[in-house]
Amino acid sequence: MVLPVSPSSSLSLPILSSSTHHILPASDPPYKLLQSHPSLHFLSKCKSLQDLKQVHSQIIKTGLHNTHFALSKLIEFCAISPYGDLAYALLLFESIEEPNRFIWNNIIRGCSLSSNPIVALELFVRMILCGTEPNSYTFPFLFKSCAKIGATHEGKQIHAHVVKLGLENDAFVHTSLINMYAQNGELGNARLVFDKSTLRDAVSFTALITGYVSRGFMDDARRLFNEIPVRDVVSWNAMIAGYAQCGRFEEALALFEEMRKANVQPDESTMVTVLSACAQSGSVELGNWVQSWIENRVLGSNLRLVNALIDMYSKCGDLETARGLFDGLHQRDVISWNVMIGGYTKMSCYKEALTLFQLMLRSNVEPNDVTLLGVLSACAYLGALDLDAAEQVFNNMNLKSLASWNAMISGLAMHGHPDKAIRLSEEMANEGIKPDDITFVGLLSACTHAETLMKNMEMKPDGAIWSSLLGACRVHGRVELGAGRWDDVARIRNRLTNMGMKKVPGCTSIEVDGVVHEFVVSDKVHPLRKDVYKMLDEIDRLLEVAGFVPDTSEVLRDIDEEWKEGALSHHSEKLAIAFGLISTKPGTTIRIVKNLRVCGNCHSATKLISKIFNREIIARDKNRFHHFKDGFCSCRDYW
């Protein structure tokens, strides 16, 4: 972990050579005089490094560079403003013989915001060695850095400094400390700091709640939430987002209702979260209501909100409305493009997805790894020619992030090009890019020597990894795998389970006459369950007559996301379909929403059901839409 503290060599300060140091006077001229100085006024107008250099030159010409104030402001701007430049800030910082505490704090702050926050910790060490005592402003920046990079060990040492300096009772230091422990998974320590102090407000509560939420301890989080003396909008948002992130959409939406009843004004974050919950649970009606709520307020043209709306409509199957919103945007960011492309892909409109991607390439928005993944899965249907196009896009990417390598590798592996995937991973290694656990998951689906890879890889318990791993395995369940690999899969699953990954129970909902009915695996609570199970028996009988043989092999059960109950015929989607068949008129389209991906068995069964009962069945699973008709599915058995 050796990281450069010195800035890149291509930068240079105006007039001053790098060997010239600022030796600052003991005190600055009067503050008011400096504050209103025109050169410093221009600082806030800078929009590029060039502008910045001009202002810097001006500051030197007017002699201001010999003041703490001007240098502080320059460093602050360079380090923090989006138009600044951290490398320049560091160059400037290194030129100061004896930086004061304010300057130290601001350069540390800048580094804590950067993509390389470890530099902030290195600077802290230097600050101490130089004999500058940190204060209550220094520590929040440091703890934020530790939280960002998972530096618990370093965080604990810095905690000791806080105790030594008697700063434990500063509210900002206190909360950032709790947050550091909570973010780094040390919930016991976070709780200890929280419990030991009398400093308890919505902010410190929320920091702890978020920690519990991130580890899936929703009940503990909720208990804390109920204890908050005065809840503010952020604490509500955190709790609502917690429910939405772990798939408990109904609770998320119920809490949003409670929030409104408590007369707390929702803000942009609230609405983005609520829309995400609507999108994921398929609650298009509530989503509609949210849209009008937004439009009646000043939030209407907010890009993030419109992105969330586009996503909500496309995930609910209303591509037309989604596209209308997309076309109406004056400015689009990478998320706008990605949600719209993803919307088309999920509905099997691959040509539209790729056409939109072509438009994106002509816009000024650079595609990222998420775009690439979406485009790749669209290409997978449209033949090798388009896959070549995706490869071309990848090859032309200016900045290939680890994520984009991963997207390409897993894309190739999952879409029938395992050899290319493995070759690409070798290329990646040759470029000096270290693979991570996600690369591994991608490769696992292509690789014949998973054993070797596993030994070299540290898996992190992450839901995304978990599901992509299972997805990779499922797809390859059809591609004749060597039996040995399933052992690897089982072992990884055990490791993840031991690390605290909780399985989300499968659940399918169906709306009939405006009422949403929910079914879980082997449901025992629905009032009409007797009739439902009776219908299920009939379905199974007819399926058997039609020649359907459920696959009960170890492989399928292993990868099935509702494997726990083992009852293949009682999966929630089949229960919901059975309910749909008995509670709607013949010929009516059945629409269901599942919180997980549909399993292979249910998918095959549903295809046949659509034929036997002459019903169109539109199933939305976690990843995409399946439109079953006449024994076929729109996804063409790829999902």
Partner DNA sequence: GTAGGGTTAG
Closer residue to DNA (CB): 64 or 617: 64
| Min separation Cβ 68 and DNA, Å | 5
| Cβ count within 10 A of residue 27 | 8
Q: How far apart are CA 14 and CA 205, in angstroms?
A: 48
Instruction: Give CA angle at 26 (22, 31), nearest 5°.
Output: 95
In Å, what is the CA distance from 483 to each residue of 169, 416, 450, 454?
Answer: 59, 19, 12, 16
Closer residue to DNA (CB): 48 or 401: 401
Q: How far apart are CA 79 and CA 112, in angstroms?
A: 10
| Min separation Cβ 187 and DNA, Å | 14
Closer residue to DNA (CB): 276 or 572: 276
| Min separation Cβ 483 and DNA, Å | 29
Q: With beta carbons less than 8 A apart as the criterion, state whether 280 and 249 touch.
A: yes
Closer residue to DNA (CB): 307 or 601: 307
| Min separation Cβ 283 and DNA, Å | 14
SS3 of residue 590 by DSSP: strand
| Cβ count within 10 A of residue 197 | 16
Closer residue to DNA (CB): 276 or 283: 276
Nearest Cα to 597, choosing from 638, 552, 537?
A: 638
Closer residue to DNA (CB): 68 or 591: 68
| Min separation Cβ 16 and DNA, Å | 19
Tokens 């030991």 found at: 196
| Min separation Cβ 458 and DNA, Å | 19
Q: How far apart are CA 386 and CA 415, in angstroms?
A: 12
| Cβ count within 10 A of residue 9 | 9
Q: How far apart are CA 252 and CA 71, in angstroms?
A: 48
Closer residue to DNA (CB): 253 or 521: 253
Tokens 């500051």 found at: 59
Q: What are phi and psi of 617, to 5 degrees?
A: -125, 120
Q: Which distant-in-sequence residues (6+ apart) come within 8 Å of 364 by Cβ?
A: none
User: Kind of pairing, strands 590-594 and 617-620?
Assistant: parallel
Decide: residue 618, CB within 10 A, 0-12 exposed, 13-18 middle, 19+ buried: middle
Q: Which tokens hold the place of 231? A: 């809840």
Where is 466: in which H helix or E strand? helix 463-476
**For the CA atoms of 124, 128, 132, 136, what is the dihedral angle to 10 degrees?**
60
| Min separation Cβ 633 and DNA, Å | 19
Q: With beta carbons less than 8 A apart as the criterion, state whether 141 and 120 touch.
A: yes
Closer residue to DNA (CB): 180 or 578: 180
In the complex, the residues that contact DNA under the rule CB under 7 A are: 68-69, 72-73, 76, 100-102, 105-106, 109, 135-137, 140-141, 144, 170-176, 179, 199, 201-207, 210, 232-235, 237-238, 241, 245, 267-270, 272-273, 276, 279-280, 304, 307-308, 311, 334-335, 338-339, 342, 368-370, 373-374, 403
Closer residue to DNA (CB): 203 or 543: 203
Q: How far apart are CA 366 and CA 371, in angstroms?
A: 9
SS3 of residue 219 by DSSP: helix
| Min separation Cβ 169 and DNA, Å | 11
| Cβ count within 10 A of residue 255 | 23
Closer residue to DNA (CB): 269 or 604: 269
| Min separation Cβ 397 and DNA, Å | 14
Closer residue to DNA (CB): 58 or 112: 112
Closer residue to DNA (CB): 321 or 610: 321
Tokens 């409109």 found at: 349
Closer residue to DNA (CB): 65 or 570: 65
| Min separation Cβ 522 and DNA, Å | 29
User: Between 402-414 and 463-476, two packed helices, what is the crossing angle to 10 degrees?
Assistant: 30
Closer residue to DNA (CB): 303 or 512: 303
Q: With beta carbons less than 8 A apart as the criterion, state whether 439 and 405 touch.
A: yes
| Min separation Cβ 453 and DNA, Å | 21
Q: Which residues of 352-381 are buried (b: 16+ CB within 10 A; e: fewer)?
A: bbbebbeebeeeebebbbbbbbbbbbbbbb
Q: With beta carbons less than 8 A apart as the criterion, state whether 412 and 446 touch.
A: yes
DSSP assignment, residue 501? P
| Min separation Cβ 555 and DNA, Å | 24
| Min separation Cβ 234 and DNA, Å | 3
| Min separation Cβ 534 and DNA, Å | 37
User: Kind of pairing, strands 507-512 and 590-594?
Assistant: antiparallel
| Min separation Cβ 164 and DNA, Å | 17
Tokens 């200016």 found at: 398
Q: How far apart are CA 284 and CA 277, in angstroms?
A: 10
Closer residue to DNA (CB): 287 or 342: 342
